Amino acid sequence: MEETIQPLNRVALELGPITIYWYGLIIGFGAMLGLWLAVRESERRGLAKDTFVDVVMVAVPVAILCARLYYVAFEWDFYKDNPSKILAVWEGGIAIHGALIGSFLTALIFSKKRGISFWKLVDIAAPSILLGQAIGRWGNFMNQEAHGGEVTRSFLESLMLPDFIINQMYIDGAYYHPTFLYESLWSFLGVIVLLYLRRVNLHRGELFLTYIIWYSIGRFFVEGLRTDSLIVWGTSLRIAQVVSLVWIAAAVIIWIYRRKAGLAQKRYLES
C-alpha cells in the first residue's frame, strides 16, 4: 500500500488576491541576512555604510532576471510551448549560476562607477553570497525540487534526518536524495571557512576566489546526484557541472596570475 504523506504547504500567506510563497520568503530572508553581514564587514573595511545597500538594490533584480533567463534558456523546449510560465519564478526554476553571473557583472560596473576596488567589494561579499545560497536552498525544499535520485526511507533515516525533511522528500510515491540539504550544509560550512580566512588576511581577491572554488567543488558533486539538472544543448552533459569545472579552473588561473603579475599585493585587511 502506498504511503500517504502530506507535503508542507508551499504557500506561506494569502492576502486576498496576493499569494506569498515560502520559496520567495526564504530566498528573501537569505538575501537580507547576507546583506546584514556584508554591511557590518564593509564598515570595518572602511566603506560607506550604504555601499552594499546600494549594490543590492541593483544586484538583486539583475540576479533574479539573469537566473531566470539562464534557466529558461536551457529549458526552452518547455517554455516555448508555455510562454505564460516564463515569469512564474514562484514555481521555482531560477539557476544560481545565472544569478551569480548577473551579480558579478553588477559588482564590476558598480565598483567602477564608485571608484571602489572590485576585488575588495567581492571579497567582503563572498561569505554573504554563500550564506544566502545556503539559506536559499531551503526554498527548494519547500517546493520539493532540486532533489536527487530515488532512495529508501531507511536510507534517509540512517542520515539521522528529522521526520519533516524525510516526509518532504516523499514525492509522487517515492523518497529522494535531499540534495538541497547536501548543498546547503556544504555552503554553511563554506561560510565558516571564509569567515576564518578573513582573519588569515589573504591577498585581495583571494577570499572571493576561494568562494568560487569552494562552491563549485560542492556543486559539482551534488549536481551528480540530482535528477532535474539543466543539460547542455544536444549533449548529456550537466551544465552546472561543466560550469563548476570551468569556474574552478578560472579561479585557480586568476589566483596564480594575479600573484605572479603583482596584482594582489594588498591584503584583505588593508584599506
Q: How confident is the model at residue 1 (pLDDT cuts 50, 70, 90)?
A: very low
Please enumerate, by residue number, every residue annotated as part of a binding site: 137
Coil/strand/helix, residue 101: helix
Say if residue 192's pLDDT is above 80. yes
Extents of the domains making up the chain:
11-260
Cα–Cα distance between 147 and 11 in angstroms, integer? 20
Look over the chain and give the mean of its residue pLDDT values, rounded to a whole number: 90
Confidence label for 79 from pLDDT (cuts 50, 70 and 90): confident
Minimal CA–CA distance to 128: which of 8, 211, 57, 252?
211
